[in-house]
Structure 1
Amino acid sequence: MIKINNLSYSFPQKDLYNDISFTLEEDQHCAFIGSSGSGKSTLIDIIMKPEDYMFDGTIEIEPNCKIGYVSQFSKVDNAKGTTVLEYLSEDYTKLQDEITSICAEMETASDMDTLLEKYQEALDTLNATFGDDFESELNKKLNLAELNNLKYTNISELSGGEFKLIQVIKEMLSKPNVMIMDEPDVFLDFANLNALRNLINSYKGIMLVITHNRYLLNHCFNKIIHLENHELQEFDGSYIDYNFSLLQSKIELQELSIADDEEIERNERIIKRLRDRAEVTGETAAGKYLKARMKFQERLEARRIKMPFVEIKQPYIRLTTNNPVEEKIALKVTDYSVSFDDILLENVNFEIKSNDKVAIIGLNGTGKTTLLKDIVKNNHPSIEIAPDIEVAYLSQLQSEILNESNTILEEFMDAGFKSYEDVEDYVSNYDFEGEILHQKIGSLSGGEKNTLQLAKISATGANMLLLDEPTSHLDIYSQMALETAIEKYNGSILMISHDYYSVANCVDYVLLIEDKTIRKMKIKKFKQMIYNKYFDKDYLELEQKKKTLEMNISIALRNTDFERAKALSEELEALIKLF
């Protein structure tokens, strides 16, 4: 068990938590959600290394609790000349080698008692860590992730997604009591995402996973922890049930809260009139009545209904162009090939028109990012960009576009803004305001960095955007805002994405990488293909309808239209039953 009690923590320029508490108990698989920059990764780091932080409150972890951890920033270690099997087995093999070495010493040693003690300690560690079925468990996990064919592959040859799954498997094989993962789904193609879902659901123990991935949220968790606005809410149940419960409570509490506000305002007016009367007339009775009314006001304030802790809001993301062009061929790729040790793409041909919205789809490691970077460089003989087309690029490696030693203000001044006031006015549209403008970009969350990239490329006014995993690290409502911005953008977009929700919602067609080449596929056929592989019929449409209803409920609440909010809530309840 892990128990957090009344924890508060602040950065120098930002408050993160205010008296938050929650408990993780046996067999709970918990999704840890919240908007970008709300402090989820920091809270995990505090749990992992409490001695490194000065915080108020307490963290209780049962003695001998073993925690497994998978970072969101894991990369393949190209220096390791080991196979997948060797990598997964290295800790197990070390313990076995230690036992073998002790046994060899026993053959010639005179002090057997010490060696027997060391032998028993090593054997106990081996059994406690891996049990007596390590090889069987290793094979089960590889089969579950559909990676058994990679057992003898060098790990330096794995794609980023494959290596992330191998890291998850390695942590699980050590049988931790608690498994913590920070956005393990980032950059995974959908086959690997399904594998991750299988691994999560197979794990026996406590699990805490930061994720914004709608597919995992809907299929993997029986507890939700939601961190927002310095506060935390925990819910025992599925993500779909949590969202519905949250919206229902918002409708009820906001209605009561407004009624309380009105009563308090009424009483304030009475108090003002009584105070004015007492000052003018000096009547004892007026003074007594004033004191009584002030005590009544204190009681009203004390019992005041608090507004719901989280405002479900869709941030404003815009993508603009200064130079829209009439429909024409903006990008032409002819007989493009690329290879490293092996051929990735061969004789690829396609065209993008000046108003096309297109997604490149393919498994991890098939050359998508390499192609996009060659288009950005525009010096490849197979790539032709029309003369009046201006290109802006969003990278999945955020430090390629953002100088992480800059503050937000400095980054946009370097990008050509004339004054700090201009920067403040512009980035406020992307929800960057106040002290955060003076923070180093390197200290921001992954979602905040991606939103900054979107703000930066929009500021260029380019009429062709090349986006490499633009939804990565973004919270769900930011993902939806980006989908809307892509639809409204008056230019062409070519984006790499493994987020099939976004692909299905906002592109005209896809370029599918298969067998080292690219073929164009209509969005309708693409949907049919992924339904057959991964989803029940109409799943993506249902998910989008659900999110739209949730957003419309939020809008109705902002407008204090409670009747509409309740009617929409009934529609949402009926829709949820179809999942």
Structure 2
Amino acid sequence: MIKVDNLSYGFPQKDLYNKISFALEDGQHCAFIGTSGSGKSTLVDIIMDPERYMYDGKLEIDPQCRIGYISQFLQVNKNNQTTVFDYIAERFLKLQAEIDKICTEMETSPEIDTLLEKYQQVLDDFEAIDGHDYVSNINKKLNLAGLYKHKDLGVSELSGGEFKLIQVIKEMLISPNLLIMDEPDVFLDFENLNALKNLINAHKGILLVITHNRYLLNHCFNKIIHLENMELQEFNGSFIEYNFTLLQRKIELQELAIADTEEIARNEYLIDRLRFIATNNSEASRGKALKARVKIQERLEANRIKEPFVAIKQPDIKLDVDMPIGGHKSHEVIQDGYEVIEIEAIEPDENDLYALRVSNYSASYDELLLENVNFEILPTDKVALIGANGTGKTTLLRDIYKNNRPEIDIHETAKVGYLSQFQGESLEESNTVAEEFFEAGFNSYSEIRAHISLYGFNEEILTHKISALSGGERNILQLAKISALKANFLLLDEPTSHLDTYSQLALEKAIADYKGAILMISHDYYTIINCMDYVLIIEDRTIRKMSIRKFRKMIYESHFDKDYLELEQKKKQVETKIELALKDTDFELAKVLSEDLEAIVSLL
């Protein structure tokens, strides 16, 4: 259906692709992955509207190919009073009305031939999307997504996650040959995410889905397209198989890279010897030998093992704490004309030490969301706040951050950092990256440059507008700003949204190492079980505490089986052992372990 051949494209400030090639064919459900800012959404835009772009290479699209599209930025129109069923059926109803209109005109019009031609064209369009069975097909899709009970509701009554699923169903039912979805999973709760998985797996057409969601990646897709460092590679198989292949390749490359390094070092030693001899000997042959050896060295350096798909640098996310909650604080005192710094020790009652207390809290938005909620978070607790879309999680987090309600008590020594899922709340889109960090208290370009380099950004990005960055890049910038605060209490609203898998893993490590308190809204199952202490779950307008063990069991009983859980745990243990073996350059052990891993992957 679509073939990309040696395509190159870039912006004035950044090259995106260097002669990339891939093809999409019938039956393929393709995950499109790559680090934030690598150009995935731009490539989708080129496919959708190639006339807008000046690119090198070829893009061939079958003339009969109908392309559907789901944006990552869909939002519910609260003024839309259309029912869910009629909203999905919009295209069918329009064609049906057109057919009825033509039939009525044919009863009195003398232009029968023209009308018959028009009638046949509209009828073909109607049949191409299986219009005769549209009622049944809509009901089946709604049932598959667990939304059948909502079919007579107004679209305006849906949560954001439910509306995203409705949009997916609507696009799928008009039978595009290729359906492109740009991060359709963002902000979906786990039930809606599972419904999206079911819709993807049941779809008969070609899918191209930009996603970083590990749940979808592990349970959908039979093809992977990976864009990294201006290069692209295809893999026919599952994401689990692809990751295993990358790990095998990493073992091979690291072994070869060490051999390369040793050869380069040996050649450098010979060059130094020849240079010393040539300096003290005027024979022409000595100079020729030196030049020949330098050329060999240049060739060795040029051919040094490079692999854009396995040597991806994770951002170095740090969440440092300036002062623990209930720790020490300092203030300045002037004595006899001299400046003196006094350290005032705070020694609270250990039984009264906390980061946050919420007592009898209620919240409403059009309707009552939360009622008489009570909970406490201790100074080093890492807590996930979960619940279905639209149950008041973000409302609660914002009220805690504002700290202007008597029901909310934040410890006096708590310094709060806040990451918003609505990035415009924390980042000014008209600012450049440099301006954003100057406003955050940085004093020089060199200071900003050194800080953001830890997060994978180069110097050129300092002059880029925030509005020009990808969603993942903006979230990484939010994390970079928060880390500079050295806050001891973090409020994180969907921090993994838009982040690539490498950044997700880096964030999980940073959270695990963090010495303060965290309250995090998340629907990312992996992040929750990997680094949270417990869960606060919203149900029936109240909040109850749940252990990670019980949360994990609840998810697996609903969506997996016991064997899958055990296999996944074994897989993670073996992968960790392989990484340790690679650090010790024990390649023989790494190869043996990779065979064990292959057996586990085949079962998954």
Report the TM-score when normalising by structure 2: 0.89
429-438 or 556-565: bigger deviation: 556-565
The one-letter code of the counterpart of 1:33 is: I
The residue type paired with residue 354 of structure 2 is I
User: What is the RMSD computed on CA atoms of the aligned residues?
Assistant: 2.6
1:18 is aligned to 2:18: yes
The question of whether the paired residues in 2 share the 8 Å contact of 1:92 and 1:130 is answered with no
Q: Structure 2: how far apart are the matches of 1:277 and 1:330? A: 70
Aligned 8 A contact 1:14 1:436 in 2? no
Identity %: 67
Counterpart residue type for residue 365 of structure 1: G
Provide, for residues 410-444 of structure 1, a one-character-per-residue CA deviation record: whole Å limited to 9, x for no partner.
Answer: 10101111222221122222222221222111111
Q: Secondary structure at the match of 1:38?
A: coil
Letter in 1 for 2:358: V
Query: What's the counterpart of residue 413 of structure 1?
Result: 438
Which of 455, 478, 486 aligns to 1:453? It is 478
Offset of 1:240 from its aligned partner?
0.9
How far apart in 2 are the matches of 1:572 and 1:77? Answer: 48
Q: Which residue of 2 aligns with 1:375?
A: 400
Deviations, residues 5-46 of structure 1 (Å, cap 9, x unaligned): 111112222221111111111101111111111111111111
Aligned to 1:360: 385
1:499 to 510, 519, 524: 524
Residue in structure 2 matched with residue 240 of structure 1 by the alignment: 240
Matches within 5 A, 1:221-370: 221-260=221-260, 262-263=262-263, 266=266, 280-282=281-283, 306-307=306-307, 309-326=309-326, 328-370=353-395
Kept after mapping to 1: 8 A contact 2:274/2:289: yes
Letter of the structure 1 residue corresponding to residue 562 of structure 2: K
Give the counterpart letter for 1:315 in structure 2.
Answer: P
| Equivalent position of 2:413 in the other structure | 388
Kept after mapping to 2: 8 A contact 1:250/1:308: no
2:69 corresponds to: 69
| Distance in 2, Cα, partners of 1:291 & 1:320 | 51
Give the equivalent residue in structure 1 for 2:503.
Answer: 478
Residue 569 (structure 1) aligns with = 594
The answer to whether 1:107 aligns with 2:77 is no
Q: Deviations over 1:293-315 (max 9, x none)?
A: 78877987897655464314432
CA contact (8 A) 1:360 1:512 kept: yes
The more displaced of 74-83 and 176-185 is 74-83
Compared CA separation, residues 394 and 382, structure 1 to 2 (3 A)? same
Q: CA 1:317/1:131 → structure 2, altered by over 3 Å: closer, same or farther? A: same
The Cα of 1:387 is off from its aligned counterpart by 2.1
**Contact 1:254–1:307 under 8 Å retained in 2:** no
- Pick aligned residue for 1:465 from 465, 490, 498: 490
Q: Contact conserved, 1:358 with 1:511, CA < 8 A, in 2?
A: yes
Note the residue ranges of structure 2 that are not aligned, 5 or more in a row.
327-349
Per the alignment, in what secondary structure is the counterpart of residue 323 of structure 1? coil
Cα distance in 1 for residues equivalent to 2:420 and 2:502: 21
Greater displacement, 428-437 / 361-370: 428-437
- Is the 2:246–2:309 contact (alpha carbons within 8 Å) kept by the matching residues of 1? no
Distance 1:282 1:309, change over 3 A: farther
Cα deviation, residue 544, structure 1? 6.2
Q: Is the 8 A contact 1:228 1:310 kept in 2?
A: no
1:398–1:436: structure 2 CA closer, same or farther, 3 Å change rule?
Answer: same
Q: Distance in 2 between matches of 1:215 and 1:490?
A: 28
Cα-to-partner distance string for 1:144-194 (whole Å, 9 max, x where unaligned): 101100101111111111011011101100100011111111111111111
| 2:129 partner SS | helix
Matches within 5 A, 1:8-87: 8-87=8-87
Q: Does the aligned pair in 1 maintain the 2:228–2:308 contact within 8 Å?
A: no
Q: Supply the AA of the counterpart residue of 1:7.
A: L
Name 1:185's counterpart in structure 2.
Answer: 185
Q: How far apart are the structure 2 equivalents of 1:335 and 1:296?
A: 75
TM-score by length of 1: 0.93
> Paired residue for 1:202?
202
**Structure 2: how far apart are the matches of 1:12 and 1:344?**
48
Instruction: Tell me: CA distance 1:289–1:369, structure 2 relative to 1, closer, same or farther (3 Å).
Output: closer
Aligned-pair CA distance for 1:275? 8.2
Where 1:329 maps in the other structure, the secondary structure is coil
Residues 1:370 and 1:92: Cα distance change in structure 2 (over 3 Å)? same
> AA paired with 2:112?
M
Q: Deviations over 1:271-291 (max 9, x none)?
A: 77678878955557x788789
Match of 1:89 in 2: 89
Change (3 A) 1:560 1:94: same
Are the equivalent residues in 2 in contact too, given 1:68–1:176 (CA < 8 A)? yes
- CA distance in structure 1 between the partners assigned to 2:492 and 2:554 by the alignment: 23
Distance 1:358 1:105, change over 3 A: same
Change (3 A) 1:565 1:406: farther
- Contact map agreement 1:257 1:307 (CA 8 A) in 2: no
Equivalent residue letter for 2:419: L
